[in-house]
Structure 1
Amino acid sequence: MSWPDKNPPSAGEKRSIGAGVFRRCEGCGETITADVLAASFEVCPRCDHHHKLSAKGWRALLCDDGALEAWDEHLAPDDPLRFSDGRSYRDRISAAQKKTGAREGIEIGKASLGGRPIGYGAFVFAFMGGSMGSVVGEKITRLFERAAEEELPVVLLSASGGARMQEGILSLMQMAKSVSALERFRQRRLPFLSVLLHPTTGGVAASFAFLGDVNIAEPKALIGFAGPRVIETTIRQTLPPGFQRAEFLLEHGMIDAIVPRLMMKQTIGLLLDHLQDGRAARMPR
């Protein structure tokens, strides 16, 4: 299986022989065919290094038949602050939409995992670093609200650089809004599994990402609020080895499990079985 190249070279653009056919593994440095990496969902078959997997790839891995009944696709970002940093926010949105084929930095909807209906959400990291603006926050809120109405467990995959600076305080407000929706969802005693991918940082890490009934991370994922370099510069100290990596967080009790990508669907299915069986046992008869 392979994911199509959405940005093929234009006429006259030079491209080296083998570009797009071969990939160099970021873990072991070995050269591997792109098709082999795609077939293993971007996990190196030689060293087990986990490269970034697109939202489309995650859908194919976790959702039965790769199918998602998308919710609220009509929502699209606006430019309430008329922000410009030398390039207008509207232009950046347009470029991100063209690059990814997505309207925003997250997809949500109803899916099936191992024959089990779920509310599903996955950040599109290629869309402005998976940053959380007003629409991303609104879609996360609606994911929890609609899943509560339909009595579905929620599986949410986070991969984000944090709040979207081009929306200022409107972006930061999404932290409180999404967590409030999650709290209302919890009142229905439905499971929420939070999957933290590389990287999960900023306002996403500081809001719902650590609030799952079970918090799962991928191996070596960078997870935290500020990045290590920012922290070191601020406190003027050298951080411990592996600081803010998934293994460090597991050792210090910040997450519940580290799960290899190719075991993720099976693990989530087992967890949902356990949590939903427990819910059924607690429900009044």
Structure 2
Amino acid sequence: MNWINNVVRPKIQGFLQKRDTPENLWIKCPETGEMVFHRDLEQNQWVVPSSGHHMRISSQRRLEFFFDGGVFETIPTPEVSVDPLKFRDERRYTDRLKDAKAKTGMDDAVIVATGSVKGLQITTAVQDFAFIGGSLGMAAGEAIIAGLDHARKTGTPFVLFAASGGARMQEGILSLMQMPRTTAAIRLLREAGLPYIVVLTNPTTGGVTASYAMLGDIHIAEPGALIGFAGPRVIEQIIREKLPEGFQRAEYLLDHGMIDMVVHRHEMPGTIARICSLLMSEPVKAKPVPVAPPEPAEEAEETADADA
């Protein structure tokens, strides 16, 4: 009886018991509702293969996808005062920062890096929406300015991947001051004759759209990205009218002349490299074309004799 209770019954229960399924094994496409295996998404740079929907990705992944071989060097950014206004709403601002840092492994919403893209040296800044909605605060502003200054000193193009909900309210007027500060840094880059290219990702809204995100020489957007100042729901409530289909999406803005092009994530490095090559008059590194080896002379003579 003990043998049945201690051996047989636990084995049967273990066989019939439902096994735990790992979380996030399957991911649902927001557009079609299709369930996609997470490894397929990873291999496709987090673009749903069937619908082409571009999922949000971390700043680290974006840099790996953008630079040649995923190799890049991060640029240190200045430190700023933490919680200068001692802000608190439902929680302390310092607690929100700690949670965001633990969640993303970042110091703030912007990472600046430099590396090679198709053989061209480029300086890049990436906003991460996972860090308090990619909001613009003092640290993010200092990071963007540091990236612009590095590009100006090294003579490299500057590429910004924007993803933000706007200015960070917990820093009040200090966050709004980053709008004119970044604008002034862009002006210095332009005076140096260096390209400033903006890639608008989903979403790019608020004070970021009202400042440096719309001051580029070339504006590129990922497919389906939401781009605007206020959200469509707020606009509908204000004007009390139904907005057009696809309003504030990348394709709508392209049709109405607000951006220059909509580019798939897979084609982003090559497109930006070609634009920088044209603006900088530097050649793009092309992939080597395999050439068939020449036929040996002896074999060619034997073939000619046989034909004769």
Task: Tell me if both proteins adopt one fold, taking TM over 0.5 as the criterion.
Answer: yes
Deviates more, 1:91-100 or 1:23-32: 23-32
Residue number in structure 2 paired with 1:8:
none
Query: Structure 1 residue 77: deviation in Å?
Result: 5.6
* Alpha-carbon RMSD: 1.5
1:67 to 71, 80, 93: 71
**1:215-256 CA deviation, whole Å, 9 max, x = no partner?**
000111000001011111122222111111111111111000
- 2:123, 2:156 within 8 Å by CA — same for their partners in 1? yes
Write the distance in 2 (CA, Å) between the matches of 1:100 and 1:77.
Answer: 20
Write the distance in 2 (CA, Å) between the matches of 1:139 and 1:73.
Answer: 5
- 1:76, 1:104 within 8 Å by CA — same for their partners in 2? no
- 1:22, 1:31 within 8 Å by CA — same for their partners in 2? yes
2:52 to 48, 53, 61: 48
Task: Describe the shift of the 1:105–1:175 C-alpha distance in structure 2 as closer, same or farther (beyond 3 A).
Answer: same
Write the distance in 1 (CA, Å) between the matches of 2:76 and 2:136.
Answer: 16
- 2:78, 2:139 within 8 Å by CA — same for their partners in 1? no
Query: Structure 1 residue 19: deviation in Å?
Result: 2.1
Query: Structure 1 residue 271: deviation in Å?
Result: 0.8
2:155 to 151, 154, 159: 151
Q: How does 1:87-166 map to 2 (within 5 A)?
A: 87-166=91-170
Q: Secondary structure at the match of 2:242?
A: coil
Query: Structure 1 residue 65: deviation in Å?
Result: 2.3
**Residue 225 (structure 1) aligned with residue 266 (structure 2):** no
1:39 to 39, 43, 66: 43
2:82 to 66, 70, 78: 78
**Residue 25 (structure 1) aligned with residue 29 (structure 2):** yes
Q: Secondary structure at the match of 1:209?
A: helix
Q: Secondary structure at the match of 2:267?
A: helix
Query: Structure 1 residue 109: deviation in Å?
Result: 2.3
Query: Structure 1 residue 198: deviation in Å?
Result: 0.3
Write the distance in 1 (CA, Å) between the matches of 2:130 and 2:184.
Answer: 27
Write the distance in 2 (CA, Å) between the matches of 1:277 and 1:84.
Answer: 51
Q: Supply the AA of the counterpart residue of 2:23.
A: A
2:274 to 246, 250, 270: 270
**Residue 197 (structure 1) aligned with residue 201 (structure 2):** yes
Write the distance in 2 (CA, Å) between the matches of 1:265 and 1:190.
Answer: 18
Write the distance in 2 (CA, Å) between the matches of 1:110 and 1:21.
Answer: 33
Write the distance in 2 (CA, Å) between the matches of 1:229 and 1:218.
Answer: 22
Write the distance in 1 (CA, Å) between the matches of 2:181 and 2:24.
Answer: 41
- 1:205, 1:224 within 8 Å by CA — same for their partners in 2? yes
Write the distance in 2 (CA, Å) between the matches of 1:114 and 1:179.
Answer: 28
**Residue 206 (structure 1) aligned with residue 210 (structure 2):** yes
Query: Structure 1 residue 67: deviation in Å?
Result: 2.4
Query: Structure 1 residue 73: deviation in Å?
Result: 4.6
Q: Which has the larger radius of gyration?
A: 2
Q: Structure 1 length as normaliser, TM-score?
A: 0.89
Q: Unaligned regions of 5+ residues in structure 2, if any?
A: 1-18, 283-308
- 1:76, 1:103 within 8 Å by CA — same for their partners in 2? no
Q: Secondary structure at the match of 1:29?
A: coil
Task: Describe the shift of the 1:98–1:74 C-alpha distance in structure 2 as closer, same or farther (beyond 3 A).
Answer: farther
Write the distance in 2 (CA, Å) between the matches of 1:137 and 1:73.
Answer: 10
**1:156-201 CA deviation, whole Å, 9 max, x = no partner?**
1000001000000000010000010000110011011100000000
Q: Supply the AA of the counterpart residue of 1:185.
A: L
Q: Unaligned regions of 5+ residues in structure 1, if any?
A: 1-14, 279-285
Task: Describe the shift of the 1:226–1:207 C-alpha distance in structure 2 as closer, same or farther (beyond 3 A).
Answer: same
Write the distance in 2 (CA, Å) between the matches of 1:45 and 1:226.
Answer: 31
Q: Secondary structure at the match of 2:62?
A: helix
Write the distance in 1 (CA, Å) between the matches of 2:174 and 2:142.
Answer: 11
- 2:137, 2:168 within 8 Å by CA — same for their partners in 1? yes
Query: Structure 1 residue 25: deviation in Å?
Result: 1.6
Write the distance in 2 (CA, Å) between the matches of 1:250 and 1:187.
Answer: 27
- 1:198, 1:223 within 8 Å by CA — same for their partners in 2? yes
Write the distance in 2 (CA, Å) between the matches of 1:235 and 1:28.
Answer: 30
Greater percentage in helix: 2
Q: Secondary structure at the match of 2:114?
A: strand
Q: Structure 2 length as normaliser, TM-score?
A: 0.83
